[in-house]
Amino acid sequence: MTPSLEVRGLAYAYPDGTQALYGVDVTIGRGERVALLGPNGAGKTTLVLHLNGILHGGLGEVRVGGLAVDPKDKKSLREIRRRVGIVFQDPDDQLFMPTVREDVAFGPANLGMRGAELDGRVESALARVGMLEVAGRPPQHLSFGQRRRVAVATVLAMEPEILVLDEPSSNLDPASRRELAEILLGLDVTVLMVTHDMPYAAQLCPRSLILSGGVIAADAPTADLLTDEDLLRAHRLELPFGFDPAAARR
Ligand SMILES: Nc1ncnc2c1ncn2[C@@H]1O[C@H](COP(=O)(O)OP(=O)(O)OP(=O)(O)O)[C@@H](O)[C@H]1O
Ligand SMILES: [Mg+2]
């Protein structure tokens, strides 16, 4: 089966000369849930921004469901942007319409979807994140946790090949954090989740990557990574007080 994501030899320097990625190789199979861990400045967001061609121009290649990300080919880039659903850290970066319904409809409508088909797509995306009842409200009137869920719905409405979440649990209260975990566990989609929340990685992702200094420093079952104290220390990763990573082993 074609993997959802293949990254080969990806290297990238920002225009000011800062080298952020030094040759990243990652393959994620269809239906996998993978956490992307790593200290501040490791290159996680830089990697994510390559997955749908927002950043490009370095070395290496990215394929999504077998299709190469080619920023020069506008038609294939549209398809890549449908296949890669990125939920940004700040939901306000992706919600801008007068109502929640219009925000969720925006992407599929852009693809030409109309009428009952569009309505059905919007309702099912909102239902999957438990936000159907706020469909008619302005996104700005929702709580932060509700807006994050709606942001997930905007991406699900595109029926992506891979759902990429940048810090999904940040700024959520414990109940919202748990509810989002339940939603993500219930989705039948490939997930790549950038997070500093180790218990979240342990709960949601059987496999984790450590990106450190622009290279993949580890790629293993999450419980193995989180119980390797030397590895964690080497990459400035710390477990929260009282959290037992061995409990994550099933
Ligand atoms: N626009 C930019 N111009 C120049 N350098 C940048 C730019 N954005 C990021 N960098 C640099 O690239 C490197 C990787 O940054 P990146 O934002 O990808 O890290 P990150 O792993 O997402 O960190 P965090 O956990 O803090 O979000 C860092 O050295 C950072 O300073
Ligand atoms: Mg980042």
In angstroms, the CA 49 to CA 45 distance is 6
In angstroms, the CA 101 to CA 122 distance is 7
Q: Cβ(44) to ligand 1 under 6 A? A: yes
Q: Cβ(124) to ligand 1 under 6 A? A: no
Host domain of residue 180: 5-249
The predicted model gives 51-69 an average pLDDT of 97
- State the average pLDDT for the chain: 96
Please give the distance, rounded to the nearest whole angstrom, from the Cα atom of residue 78 to the centre of ligand 1: 26
Atom of ligand 1 nearest to the CA of 18: 5
Q: Measured between alpha carbons, how far is residue 94 from residues 25, 63, 123, 139, 155 in Å?
A: 28, 24, 18, 10, 10
pLDDT above 70: percentage of residues in the chain = 100
Q: What's the domain count of the chain?
A: 1
Please give the distance, rounded to the nearest whole angstrom, from the Cα atom of residue 88 to the centre of ligand 1: 15
Give per-residue pLDDT as tens, 139-185: 999 999 999 999 999 999 999 999 999 999 999 999 999 999 999 99
CATH code of residue 92 = 3.40.50.300
Tracing tokens 């159907």 back to the chain, one arrives at 132
Tracing tokens 């996104």 back to the chain, one arrives at 139
Q: How confident is the model at residue 248 (pLDDT cuts 50, 70, 90)?
A: confident
Please give the distance, rounded to the nearest whole angstrom, from the Cα atom of residue 214 to the centre of ligand 2: 12
In angstroms, the CA 217 to CA 13 distance is 19
Question: Which residue among 10, 12, 14, 193 is best mutated to probe the pocket of ligand 1, counting the most ligand atoms within 8 A of its Cβ?
Answer: 14
